[in-house]
Amino acid sequence: MKDSEIEWFRPLWLRVLVTGLVAVWFAFEVLGSRDTLWMVITGAALAYAVWNLFIRFDARAAEVKKKPEENGDGKPEA
């Protein structure tokens, strides 16, 4: 399943939130702990988030597919 197919990522503010949290974690690793392994892991996660949630993200592909309109008896209209 692609990230662009996950309905949860459709709102912009959620994509910004997820990417921002990863960016804060990456900054902590670079400035605070200076652990090379975690810098590489969080840097890769940040690059992945930016690429998939902003650069390659297609909002039209993430649109919720609407069900056919139903009439009063619960059957789809023809």
Per residue in 19-55, pLDDT (tens digit) is 999 999 999 999 999 999 999 999 999 999 999 999 9
- Which pLDDT belongs to residue 57? 83
Number of domains in the chain: 1
Domain contains 28: yes
Domain of residue 27: give its range: 3-55
Domain contains 25: yes
Domain contains 8: yes
Domain contains 16: yes
Domain contains 76: no
- Which pLDDT belongs to residue 68? 52
Domain contains 49: yes
The whole-angstrom distance between residue 69's C-alpha and the CA centroid of its chain comes to: 29
Among 7, 12, 1, CA closest to 53:
12
The pTM of the full predicted model, rounded to 2 decimals, is 0.71
Domain contains 60: no
